[in-house]
Every structure is written in C-alpha cells, then in structure tokens.
Amino acid sequence: MAQQTIPPHVLIFPFPVQGHVTTMLKLSELFCLAGIHVTYLISTQNYTRLVRCTNVLSRLSPYPGFRFQVLPESVSDGNAQSMDLVMNLFESLKTAKTFFKDLLIGEAQKPVTCIISDGLMSFTLDLGEEIGIPIIYFRTISSCSFWAYFCMPKLVEAGELPLKGDDMDVLIKNVPGMECFLRQRDLPSLCRVSDLNNSTFTMISSETHQTVRARALILNTFEDLEGPILSQIRTEFPNTYTIGPLHAHLKARLDGKTASQLASSNSLWEEDKSCIKWLDNQPLKSVVYVSFGSIAMVTREQLVEFWHGLVNSGIRFLWVIRPDSVTDEEMGSEIQAELEKATKARGYMVEWAPQEAVLAHQAVGGFLTHSGWNSTLESIFEGVPMICWPYFADQQINSRFVGEVWKVGLDIKDTCDRVVIEKAVKDMMEVRKEEFVESADQIAKMARKSVGEGGSSYCNLNRLIEDIMLMTVGGITP
C-alpha cells in the first residue's frame, strides 16, 4: 500500500535564551530547506525582540511550512540575570506543560510527527511518551560538557564530588576520555559544588540523565573536533547525530540563495554594524574582538581590569559591552577618562555586534571570549585563536579544550587581572601568534570539510532528515 504523503512536521522547542534560540532556529531553517514542516516554540519576549532586531520574518517567508508558535506569557526569565535567569526560565517553562500538550494533540490538520526538544526539558519527554510522538533531544552545548554532565553521578560515587580541598588543579579521574587533563577547575561551573544538594547541580545532573529516554541525540559539533569524546558518548547514546557547526552548515546549504536569506542573524539585540566599517579601516589580523555573549555579567572592577589589560597591550580592540552586563557602582570619572582616551586611539565599543561577520573579518586576529559554545564554534570555523575567560555552565570545560586539547588559544579562567590580560593579548596577537594561527587554521579546515558535501556533519544531517521523514504519520517506526 502506498505511503501517504503528508510532509513530516517537527515541533522545535529551544530553551529560551540567545545561544539556544539561535542554534535551533538554524536547525529549523535546514529542515525547511529539506521540505520538513516546522513549528518553532518561542517565548513572547524573545519573539518580540527577534522580530524587532532581525529580518527573520521575511527571511523565513519562502518556507510555507514554517511557523512561530509563541509560548504563554508565564514563560519568562523574571528579569533576573545569569544563573538566576536560567533557573527562573527553567522553572517557568514548566508552566507551559499544558499548553504544549494541547498543541501536540490539537494539530489535527498537520499532526506533529517528531519533537526536537532542548535537552534540558524532560517534561517534553513525558508528554512525547504519553502521546506517542518520538522525541529527539538537542543539546546545544559542546559534547565535552554534555559528557561531563552525564558523568556527574560517577564523580559522586567515586568521591570526587563534592569538591574537596582548595587545590583546583587536582585531576578529575571519572570523566572517561578526559582523565589526563580535566582539573577540578575545568568542571562545568554548575558542577563545581561543595554541596550535592545545590539546586542547579541537581537540575543539570538529573536533566542530563533523562537523555537516555530520547530516541536520538543531536549535537552541534563535528567529528574531527570532538571525536574521542563522541566515541564515549556513543557508548551510552549510539544514535547521536553531529551536524555542526550549524551556523556554517546552514550557510553552506543556502549557497546560491538570496542575500536576505544568507543574512541569517537571530540576534535578540540590535546589531551595531558600524563596527564592520571600523574594522574595514584596520590592518590585517590586527584587532582583538572582545565579547562575553548574551548572559555573562561583569563587575565594574572586572571591567576595569579588562579595560586596562586591553589598553596596556597596545593592541587594537573591538569590544561588545551589553548594556545589561555590568553590575555595581560607577567607576571614578578620572579612570574612565584615561581609558576612554586610549580607546579612542585604537579601540571601538558597541552594545551588540554582528558577531559571525566580525569573526569572519580579515582585520580580526583574536577573540577574547567567555567560551560560550556558539562563540567557540564561530571562532573555530573562522580560524581565529581565542583567549578564554569562562563565566559559567559549560564554558569552564570548553575553555580547557581550547587551551589544552585543540591548542587554539589560552585559558585564563579564575583570574581577572590586568597584567594577565595584557600578557595573554600580547601572546595571542604577537608572541605566540604563529603557533595559534597554525592550529586554528588546521581545525578551521576540518570544520569547513565537515559541512561541505560528503563531510561528516553533512552526511549526518542527511541521515537525520531521512530518519525524520520515516517518522511521517503512518510511517512511525516502533
């Protein structure tokens, strides 16, 4: 009997913060290109900001099968910052459970054939199982951090957690594949706990363990970058699709499409494009780009240390300072005047930059980053060496891989000192420049290969699409 021909309909549910929203929207576009219908769940706040700051509606209009579905207003961060924000959102998402269920059973015309849910929201697994819709988990973080989160119960069992003593350089032995280089200080910040009842620790550890219930796992990485860790992950999750770096994968598959479709910004802040003009006037690879992503906060004191470090290095810099990212009191006006003078001479500051374009710009020679996974992948793809100042979550382990495994930069975690920053900037941009550029170039080549036709991520995405096609109503595999 002939199979019916209703296109597959995937419901995509990201955790509602910038790094997750952008990655899962890129995956949605890739699905649309393959003819899969997509409903994308988004919080009211993020929808308003996304529409205001980007061309997302016109960009996605060529895909009739795509639609945004706004979540109830109760899904909100409560205007808290950093980890509070994440925990507030995590709690508020649970209020969307009934809404989500109604959405799943109410789509009679175009039934949902697969749910792709951010791997932090196990209530989606409960509902998928209850209603009988296959769920694939998408962890938008690095594979190394996912694997470390998954191994936390082993660390507890072996007595490595809670952390003991003050020596953060002690090696951790119970994350298979990382025994030789993972120190206590490199554990994801949510796991660097002295109390096992810590609420963020229990949340991340138990949510990660729920992944075993998902039909498959998607990771935004590529085989040549995290191969040894992926082999470990596949011992627990054999059906793992590595399809990254997604931002580049989308661009590769959009090849030949219109400029408006290619400009795939998913920013929740207005991009200040004047910095590209400024970069156009700077010498080749002369600028260090500084950005700490969408969640990290710095104190005034830390800001001043970074500022002095950058100014004292004598290197040109482009610095993103989000308006909501600096805590506590004003600094003295004399300090500010002195730093501003030096900044006018060789620096440029914006509130939000078109980061992918900045990292691809020929004037950029290095990236001082918080090691968020998207930023790390974007830098790796462009062959830009990094100085890592991880803030929270997966960033502590990402930065260890940057410094110790991939050797494409320096990890300055747990310090914030102008002298250290100045030295790191000079090392990256001058003293050790060749060494870093050489390894960054090699990895960038592998990244490009992975998303090109026949590359590992390219083939894995095709396999994922084929598997989703098989989940079409009437064709759900048991």
| Interacting residue with ligand UDX among 193, 287, 295, 315 (CB under 6 A) | 295
Does the annotation count 209 as an active-site position?
A: no
Q: What is the CA radius of gyration of the chain?
A: 22
| Interacting residue with ligand UDX among 186, 378, 422, 467 (CB under 6 A) | 378
The helix/strand/coil state of 60 is: helix
| Interacting residue with ligand UDX among 14, 19, 128, 366 (CB under 6 A) | 19
Stretch that binds ligand UDX, among 238-246, 286-294, 305-313, 325-333 (CB under 6 A): 286-294
| Interacting residue with ligand UDX among 200, 208, 267, 450 (CB under 6 A) | 267
Q: Can residue 39 be called a binding residue for ligand UDX (CB under 6 A)?
A: no
Stretch that binds ligand UDX, among 13-21, 107-115, 190-198, 460-468 (CB under 6 A): 13-21
**Virtual CA dihedral for 393, 397, 402, 406, nearest 10 degrees?**
-140
CB of 83 to ligand UDX, least distance (A): 10
Q: What is the DSSP letter of 186?
A: G
CB 309 within 8 A of CB 422: yes
Q: Which of these, 208, 62, 229, 64, lies nearest to 143 by C-alpha position?
A: 229
Stretch that binds ligand UDX, among 53-61, 101-109, 294-302, 449-457 (CB under 6 A): 294-302
Distance, CA of 142 to CA of 232 (rounded, Å): 14
Q: Can residue 46 be called a binding residue for ligand UDX (CB under 6 A)?
A: no
- Helix (H), strand (E) at residue 218: strand 216-219
Stretch that binds ligand UDX, among 188-196, 201-209, 389-397, 445-453 (CB under 6 A): 389-397
Nearer to ligand UDX, 117 or 267 (CB): 267
Q: Which of these, 27, 467, 30, 475, lies nearest to 239 by C-alpha position?
A: 467
CB 107 within 8 A of CB 5: no
Assess whether the previous peptide bond of 14 is cis (omega < 30° from 0): no
Catalytic residue, candidates 20, 247, 249, 361 = 20
Cα torsion angle, 192, 196, 198, 202, sign = positive
H helical segments located in 158-299: 199-209, 223-236, 246-253, 259-262, 274-280
Q: Can residue 321 be called a binding residue for ligand UDX (CB under 6 A)?
A: no
| Interacting residue with ligand UDX among 372, 385, 403, 455 (CB under 6 A) | 372
Total residues contacting ligand UDX by CB under 6 A comes to: 26
Nearer to ligand UDX, 127 or 320 (CB): 320
Name which of residues 49 to 68 contact ligand UDX (CB under 6 A): none
| Interacting residue with ligand UDX among 11, 252, 353, 363 (CB under 6 A) | 353
| Interacting residue with ligand UDX among 320, 386, 429, 465 (CB under 6 A) | 320
- Please provide the size of the chain in residues: 478
Distance, CA of 54 to CA of 225 (rounded, Å): 31
Nearer to ligand UDX, 46 or 472 (CB): 46
Catalytic residue, candidates 9, 77, 118, 361 = 118
- Greatest alpha-carbon pair distance for the chain in Å reads 80
| Interacting residue with ligand UDX among 205, 291, 379, 456 (CB under 6 A) | 291
| Interacting residue with ligand UDX among 113, 140, 221, 450 (CB under 6 A) | 140
CB 189 within 8 A of CB 417: no
| Interacting residue with ligand UDX among 76, 208, 294, 313 (CB under 6 A) | 294
Here's the x/- map for ligand UDX, 406-435, by CB under 6 A: it reads as ------------------------------
Does the annotation count 20 as an active-site position?
A: yes
Q: What is the DSSP letter of 54?
A: S
Q: Can residue 374 be called a binding residue for ligand UDX (CB under 6 A)?
A: yes
Strand partners, 347: 317
CB of 367 to ligand UDX, least distance (A): 10
User: In sequence order, what are the residues at sequence separation of 6 or more whose Cβ sits closer than 8 angstroms to the Cβ of residue 402?
Assistant: 371, 376, 386, 388, 408, 409, 411
Q: Can residue 375 be called a binding residue for ligand UDX (CB under 6 A)?
A: yes
Nearer to ligand UDX, 22 or 457 (CB): 22
Distance, CA of 173 to CA of 429 (rounded, Å): 34
Name which of residues 161 to 200 contact ligand UDX (CB under 6 A): none
Q: Can residue 394 be called a binding residue for ligand UDX (CB under 6 A)?
A: yes
In one letter, which amino acid is 168? M
CA angle (372, 375, 376) in 5-degree steps: 80
CB of 5 to ligand UDX, least distance (A): 36
User: Between β-strands 216-219 and 240-242, what pairing exists: parallel, antiparallel or unpaired?
Assistant: parallel
Distance, CA of 129 to CA of 127 (rounded, Å): 5
Q: Please give the positions annotated as active site.
A: 20, 118
- Residue ranges that bind ligand UDX, judged by CB under 6 A: 17-20, 22, 140-141, 267, 291, 293-296, 320, 352-353, 355-356, 372-375, 378, 393-395
